[in-house]
Every structure is written in C-alpha cells, then in structure tokens.
Structure 1
Amino acid sequence: MEEQDGRVSNDTTVESIKSLTDKDAKTFLNLIYAVLKDNTSPKEQLISNVLSIYEKQIPRVVKARQNRNDGSS
C-alpha cells in the first residue's frame, strides 16, 4: 500500500523483501553496494537513492514476478 507521498509502507517493503528470490536479493545487494561504493553525492542523496531501491524497485520486481506467475498458470 502506497502512502500519500508515493512511498510504500514499511510493512509492505518488508513483505516485498521477504518475497525476493535468492537471485533477486543478491542483485539488489550488488546494486546497493554499487550505489554506496561509487558515491559522490551528499549523504541525503545517498540515503534517498538506497531508500528508493527498497521502497520502489524491490516492490516492483516482486509485483512483476507475481503477475508473470499468475499469467502463466
């Protein structure tokens, strides 16, 4: 469930993370590592970038996988 500012609730984010496959989790961990490693942005932007992965990208991947699985049944 999205909040008014477009962000996903913490509970939804946690459930999305729990729904990741091992491959997805490793991919996102590598993405987060790359964001942190190559950081030249201010701390606030860095935090925003990592939060975006958790709040937007992970739920999208989980939803896309669920939709794909529902369509292939």
Structure 2
Amino acid sequence: METKEENFPNDSTMESIKSLTEKDAKTFLNLIYALIKDNENPSEQLISNVLTIFEKQLPRVAKARQNKN
C-alpha cells in the first residue's frame, strides 16, 4: 500500500518543475489537460500517464533547457 509521501513528486521532480520556462510549463499543462479531457483509460492508467510526465518528461526538458543555457 502506498503512503502519502509516495503520492507526491520527489525533490528532483520539483527542481525540474521550477526550472521550466513559462512556455514549457504551458505545454505540459496542455498535455495533462488533453490526457484528462480525452480519458478513456481506467483511472490507474490515467494516473500512470500523468506521473510519467512528471517523473520522466519534465526532467528531460529541464535538463535540455539547462544544457542550452
């Protein structure tokens, strides 16, 4: 069983979020909105898809943004 702490993004994910540009953040919000709006998956799959954005895609974009600067 998951604890409450496991439901929240870890510190590195939070740092990734903080380093996004406004344009990056809007893009991710639009992606998450589309997943929710067009959701035909069970709720577990929807949550998994959104978590993948936070755990994998956000850090990649943040790292690419840092390397670009």
CA distance in 2 between counterparts of 1:58 and 1:48 reads 14
Q: Relative to total residues, which structure has the larger helix share, 1 or 2?
A: 2
CA distance in 2 between counterparts of 1:33 and 1:12 reads 23
CA RMSD of aligned residues (A): 1.0
TM-score relative to the length of structure 1:
0.80
Structure 1 residue runs of 4 or more that deviate by more than 3 Å after TM superposition: none
Match of 2:3 in 1: none
Q: How does 1:1-73 map to 2 (within 5 A)?
A: 10-69=10-69
Q: CA deviation at 1:65?
A: 1.4
Identity among equivalent positions (%) equals 77
TM-score relative to the length of structure 2:
0.84
CA distance in 2 between counterparts of 1:65 and 1:20 reads 8
Summarize deviations over 1:6-41 as a string: whole Å, max 9, x none. Answer: xxx600000100000000000000000000000000
Equivalent pairs, count: 61
